[in-house]
Amino acid sequence: MNSSSPKSNSTWLIVGASRGIGLELTAQLLKRGDRVFATARNTDGSELLKTVRKTANDRCHILECDVSSESSIQVIYDLLHDFKCVN
Ligand SMILES: NC(=O)c1ccc[n+]([C@@H]2O[C@H](COP(=O)([O-])OP(=O)(O)OC[C@H]3O[C@@H](n4cnc5c(N)ncnc54)[C@H](OP(=O)(O)O)[C@@H]3O)[C@@H](O)[C@H]2O)c1
């Protein structure tokens, strides 16, 4: 993915977006105009992710999710369903 990638206007769910690969992927997708639901266990703790969100207007949604918790996954599923991102 680079600056010459076509704008896709896709919607993504990135789990583990507070740092590392997830954070970088989130930044790249927002840069090309996509919408990202970015999750981490402790969303308050990621200043980097909040900084990335500032560049994206309303296209970056930061959500809490612990993939080791079934109820946490269900909350995310319900939310994305409400956004009509999943069928
Ligand atoms: N870095 C590499 O070069 C590389 C290469 C190949 C494969 N990988 C694999 O790719 C994955 C990510 O690597 P990384 O270097 O980006 O790791 P990282 O810097 O440690 O980031 C891990 C991310 O996962 C989140 N996370 C951890 N436990 C979680 C849980 N139970 N539920 C939801 N989110 C959770 C963390 O956020 P919170 O702590 O806020 O939840 C963080 O955002 C790892 O599985 C790694 O083994 C990495």
In a domain, 74, yes or no: yes
- How deeply is 33 buried, as exposed, middle or buried, from its count of CB atoms within 10 A (0-12, 13-18, 19+)? middle
Which residue of 13, 14, 18 sits with most ligand 1 atoms within 8 Å of its CB, as the best mutation to test the pocket?
Answer: 18
Which residue of 15, 41, 62, 63 sits with most ligand 1 atoms within 8 Å of its CB, as the best mutation to test the pocket?
Answer: 41
Higher pLDDT, 87 or 84: 84
In a domain, 46, yes or no: yes
8-55 tens-digit pLDDT: 789 999 999 999 999 999 999 999 999 999 999 988 888 999 999 998
In a domain, 4, yes or no: no
Nearest-CA residue for ligand 1 atom 2 is: 21
In a domain, 5, yes or no: no
CATH for 40: 3.40.50.720
Q: How many domains does the chain have?
A: 1
- How deeply is 73 buried, as exposed, middle or buried, from its count of CB atoms within 10 A (0-12, 13-18, 19+)? middle
In a domain, 6, yes or no: no
Cα 3 from Cα 52, distance rounded (Å): 16
| pLDDT category of residue 57 using cuts at 50, 70 and 90 | confident
59-83 tens-digit pLDDT: 999 999 999 999 999 999 999 888 8
In a domain, 48, yes or no: yes
Cα 67 from Cα 19, distance rounded (Å): 16
Domain holding 27, by residue range, is 11-82
End-to-end CA distance of the chain: 27
